[in-house]
Amino acid sequence: MATAEIKRHWGRVAGLDCLISCRPSPTLHHCHGGSMREAGVMRAKGRKTSNWLVIPIDAEFHTGRLGIDSGGFTVAEWERRFGRQADFLDKVCALLGVDVWAKAGVKRGGE
């Protein structure tokens, strides 16, 4: 269940443009696999990672034809093509002035 603080965070993230296309009104993607695993973030099959670890991406890159969650790409292939999710989260931190890694209880890079 999303807390009021998480819902405010999601609203702020949704107010950003897509980090890939720069188009407005992105969807929120819960980051998982690939660079997230390298950063020390694991998730159980069928479960989302922390609600803090979301990035704004256009629906096309989320669940659409080029989507990370569309089944058309592995996470590794998607990250090679469009960018690392962990780097996108770092950008969200910089844009919003909040350390989402710390909020999620993750020591960046598994440190």
Amino acid at 33: G
The pTM assigned to this predicted structure is 0.90
Give Cα separations from 75 to 31, 68, 78 (angstroms): 10, 6, 5
Mean pLDDT for 6-14 is 97
Q: What are the pLDDT digits (tens) for 57-84?
A: 999 999 999 999 998 899 999 999 999 9
Which has the higher per-residue pLDDT, 71 or 24?
Answer: 24
Query: What pLDDT is stored for residue 7 in this prediction?
Result: 96
Amino acid at 49: T
Query: What pLDDT is stored for residue 111 in this prediction?
Result: 45
The H or E element containing residue 55 is strand 54-57
